A and B are shown apart, each in its own frame.
Chain A
Amino acid sequence: MYEADRALVARMRAGDQRAFDEFFKDSAPRLVAFIARRTALDPATLEDIVQSALIKAVRHLASYRGEAALFTWLTEICRNELADEHRKAKRRPAHLSLDEPEAARRWEEMLRAPDDQEPAAQLQAATERAEIMKVLDSLPENYALVLEAKYGDGLSVETIALQWGLTEIAVQSMLARAREAFRQRWQKGSAT
């Protein structure tokens, strides 16, 4: 399994530019989405975390053994980065001084919402997303990732099969089980 991922990493370690291009094109947008679904980070912090995770990944390519999908490995790095960010955030002062120009600018950005985004609708969507993510994170990891790949990243069954080193039938089967597991937990949540 994950032969394609192992080969890609081997090519990257050999300095193959096309391998890096492929890696970045496939991974970076998905990592952005992976974090965005789980956090309410501002775009700048999100950018920092994706960058840090990818830098750690390219520096430690040798430690990828192909025991999981490359993207799964990346999400583990990402989770560590998020934990670090969480620890840092707790140490930061809770208030921003408006005397500081940079702080004032950030406040301005935070307060300026686009006209087409109603705060109430945004809040509802964010709440629902948080609940869905809570359910997803309670599922076996492969189930959560395959649902994210299919519905969040919009990948076809064929692409997921290629990336995960599975047959399309196996992916369809996993998706069906993942959907069923999600439905049961979601309904269980709504009954409480």
Chain B
Amino acid sequence: MTDERSQNSDPSSSDDELLTSALRTPAMSQEAMERVRATVEREWRAATSVDATAGKARTVLPSRVRWFAVAAAAVVAVVGVTTWVSRPPVQTAPVGSISRADEGALSVLSARLTRRNLSQGGELRVGDRVTAEGPVLVALARGGTLRISARSELAIISPRQISLEHGLIYLDIPSGTGGASPLRVVTKAGAVEHVGTEFEVMSDDEAVRVRVREGRVRFIGRTNTVVADAGTELLAAPGKSIVQRPIDTYGRDWLWTAALAPDYEIEGSSLIGFLRWVSRELGRPLNFADPNARQIADRTILHGSVRHQTPIDAMSNVLATTSLTYEIRGDAIWVRSGTSAAL
């Protein structure tokens, strides 16, 4: 070779320059790095959740394939193709079934490290780690519903315990359902237990936010426990005191839960029962503007279906077939008969 290696009068300086210019490389794009991070983090979570007992070889498709593929769901299905699949399945206890989810919106890593996509009718089981890419409605086996917002991850620890890794969920456990023991949602900042209620939990790496819509919840933080009633928001972060503030139980912040409300089967049910359901889903008290309206609601039996309709749309459509009308005024729903004066 006839290059000019180390011909500089200061060998140390020329070596430094040579090494620096040769060894500095362009960084990977931020987008690519984020893809890698998301995939590795998911694997890390799975590996740490099952520890060494299940950390066997699995096949993960390259991130560029996974992210560039049109059908991510198909990729997720491939991930689980391992020797584990050939083993006899061990069924853990079901905790609920999927009532609503878009195709490919929900992927589940089971306790046996097999990955599957769930759609309507699919079962969630103890040990499942759930990744929701879109909104998901789950009918809980113990009664009530679990609504999962897009981009949330959670793990089913037991029939009575959910670990929210990050994201946003909403639990609706009506009084009288769910057995004696409360359902518990565990987050990095503490645990939330319901006492017959509707509540929302949002968690990320830094903090947890709990919003109580109905009933009462108990928040068990690292240093203290707080009981919060309906219309209260709790903010907690590890090592910090828990902050409480009053909130509305209706309005914009709750629209996502209404959009995921379970279908109400109106066939053969009373109008008053239906209106109470709408009232609960919207977080707004139900009022009747006149006695006649209340009587009509009590005695009217509904027929047909309002499936796949949001509560407010369903109410509009149902009342359109009666002599009643409604208006949302302030925080409440007001229903009136055609004969009463305008509100």
Contact = CB atoms under 8 A, between A and B. Distances in A.
Interface of A: 12-15, 17-18, 20, 24, 28-29, 32-33, 36-37, 43-44, 46-48, 50-52, 54-55, 58-62, 125, 128-129, 132-133, 147-148, 150-152, 154, 179, 182-183, 186-187, 189-190, 192
Contacts of A18: 205
Contact of A147 (B23, B36, B39, B52): B23
A50 B43 CA distance: 14
Interface stretch (B13-21, B263-271, B307-315): B13-21
Interface stretch (B56-64, B123-131, B252-260): B56-64
B299 interface: no
A151 B23 CA distance: 6
B6 A190 contact: yes
Interface of B: 1, 3, 5-6, 11-12, 15-16, 18-29, 32-33, 35-37, 39-41, 43-45, 47-49, 51-52, 55, 60, 62-64, 188, 205
B122 to A, nearest CB: 26
Contact of B1 (A15, A24, A190): A190
A28 B24 contact: no
A117 to B, nearest CB: 11
Contact of A152 (B11, B25, B52, B188): B25
A125 B22 CA distance: 7
26 contacts: A13-B51, A14-B48, A17-B205, A24-B41, A28-B36, A29-B28, A29-B33, A33-B25, A37-B25, A47-B28, A47-B63, A48-B64, A50-B28, A52-B62, A55-B60, A58-B40, A59-B43, A61-B47, A129-B23, A132-B23, A151-B19, A152-B19, A179-B15, A186-B6, A186-B15, A187-B5
A54 B28 contact: no
Contacts of A51: 35-36, 39-40, 60, 62-63
Contacts of B24: 151-152, 154
Contacts, number: 128
Contact of A187 (B6, B37, B51): B6
A190 B11 CA distance: 14
Contacts of A60: 55
A186 B5 CA distance: 7
Contacts of B18: 132, 186
A17 to B, nearest CB: 5
Interface centre among A14, A37, A46, A48, by most chain B C-beta atoms within 10 angstroms, is: A48
Contacts of A32: 25, 27-28, 33
Contacts of B52: 62
A50 B27 contact: no
Contacts of B26: 36
B196 to A, nearest CB: 31
Given A54-B36, A186-B5, A15 B48 contact: yes
A20 B36 CA distance: 13
A132 B43 contact: no
Contacts of A179: 12, 15-16, 19
B37 A24 contact: yes
Given A147-B19, A151-B24, A189-B5, A50 B36 contact: yes
Contacts of B22: 37, 125, 128-129, 132-133
A110 to B, nearest CB: 15
A46 B6 CA distance: 32
A121 to B, nearest CB: 12
A131 to B, nearest CB: 8
Nearest to A33: B25
Contact of A183 (B6, B20, B27): B6
Nearest to B56: A59
For the complex of A and B, the 10 pairs showing the least CB-CB separation, nearest first, are A152-B23, A48-B62, A190-B5, A151-B19, A58-B44, A36-B25, A132-B22, A54-B40, A15-B48, A44-B64
